[in-house]
Each structure stands twice: as C-alpha cells, then as structure tokens.
Amino acid sequence: MNHFWVAGTDTDVGKTFITTLIMRYLQRKGLKVVPYKPVQTGAVKKGDITYYYDTSTYLNYSLHPLSPESINSYSFPVPASPHYAAELEGEWISGAQILNKISHLTKEYDAVICEGAGGLFVPLQPHTALTLLDIIQRSKLPVVLVTPSKLGMINHTLLSLDALNTRGIEVLGIVINQYKNSPIEQNNVQTLRRFIPDKPIVIVEGNRTIESFDGETIFERLITVELLGTSRP
C-alpha cells in the first residue's frame, strides 16, 4: 500500500509536521509524492498576507514543486471543527468529493499522504453524523497515528487505536511527537509498548526543525515494504 493517512489523537498534536517529514523522506527516495489535506481551518494573518499553516508548510518544505490544487479541497478561516467552520461560511463538506479526490491522486502519484483534521471523530457536516473516521474507513487506506508525548497520551492513543481496529482500518504504526525525555514521557512510552508490543513506534523529539530530519531513516519503520523496497526491522 503506497498511500496512507496521517491521523491524530487530537488537534495540535503535530500531524502537519509529521506529514511534511514523511513527504520529504519519500521524496528523497525518488518517489512522486503529494500531501493532501482534505479540510483545513484557521487562517493565519500576518500583515497583508493570509495563509493556512498546513498547506503552506507543504509548499514551503517540499523538495519538489507541488500543485496547490492537489493538496487541499476545503479551507475555512475560522479555527474551529470542520463542520462548524464550513457552516459559518455557508459551505458543505462533501465526503464523496474528498474520496473522489483521493482516488484521483492515488492514480497520479506514487504516494499520497492524507492528513486528517483534529482527532478521528471530528465531524465534517453540521446535520449528519459523518466524521473523519468514516472518510478514512471508506478510503480503504491505512493510518499512521500521531500522538503527543504528554500526560494523557496513553488513554487517547489506546482509544484511537480501538476505534481504528473496530472499523477494520490498518494501523502502520504510532508516532510519538514532541518527546522531551521527561520521566513521565519515558513511562508513557514504556506503558504504550506494553499495551501494543507488536506495533511500530517512532519517537520524534521536540524542538527540532524539519530539515534536521533529512539524514535520518526513522520512518522506514512505518512505511510498507512495497513502497520502499525494504523490510521493516
């Protein structure tokens, strides 16, 4: 499987950072890669410039030019849950449109990295029960799950894994982000490994730049054999 989601246990856990790192990693492998953020909310304003952090990060750090039309379907200025941010703009997020876009991209690119919005059960529409998890399930793509290293991550991670497993969604592995090596964080990792001993776990330290990962191969533990032509350790 060459295409996958980067989903999070919550909002602000570093999904965009991890998506960008994996994008650059696969680009250095010589693959034609596109990151895709179906829905992003929260416009950033600096002077006369307005931009969205997620897709701007892709464009700024990609090793090859990206098509802005390929990396996003919906953008809403209010930093809110997608269903509400869309409602405020009088718009409707179409699950079918997102899935059609993913299907198109997977035919055009060697690797498509779909980045989720918020946590798994983030609602996408104001008057239905459609969630991001529904879209992930219908896409039939596996997931790399990003979780923060802070207090609470054990519960949030195990709940997210249970939700994915219940839907029959393959989990490629876990990325523990913003790790600072405190005693609590060390114990969080040890405890998580006890609950999921067979699941690959990658630890990403805090206070590092995107470029500082260029010489590392840590994400080989999360990427499938077919994509890299290598086997997992």
Q: Which residues are catalytic?
A: 37
- Say if residue 97 carries a ligand binding annotation: no
- Say if residue 16 carries a ligand binding annotation: yes
Alpha-helical regions (H) of the chain? 15-28, 53-61, 82-88, 95-108, 132-139, 153-166, 183-195, 225-228
- Say if residue 207 carries a ligand binding annotation: yes
> Which residues make Cβ contacts (< 8 Å) with residue 57, sequence separation at least 6?
16, 17, 20
- Say if residue 13 carries a ligand binding annotation: yes
Write the DSSP symbol of residue 1.
-
User: DSSP letter string over 91-128?
Assistant: ----HHHHHHHHHHHHHH-SEEEEE--SSTT-B--TTS
- Say if residue 41 carries a ligand binding annotation: yes
Neighbours of 87 (CB within 10 A): 18
- Say if residue 117 carries a ligand binding annotation: yes
- Say if residue 54 carries a ligand binding annotation: yes
- Say if residue 115 carries a ligand binding annotation: yes
Residue ranges of the binding site for ATP: 12-17, 54, 115-118, 177-178, 207
Residue ranges of the binding site for substrate: 41
Residue ranges of the binding site: 12-17, 41, 54, 115-118, 177-178, 207
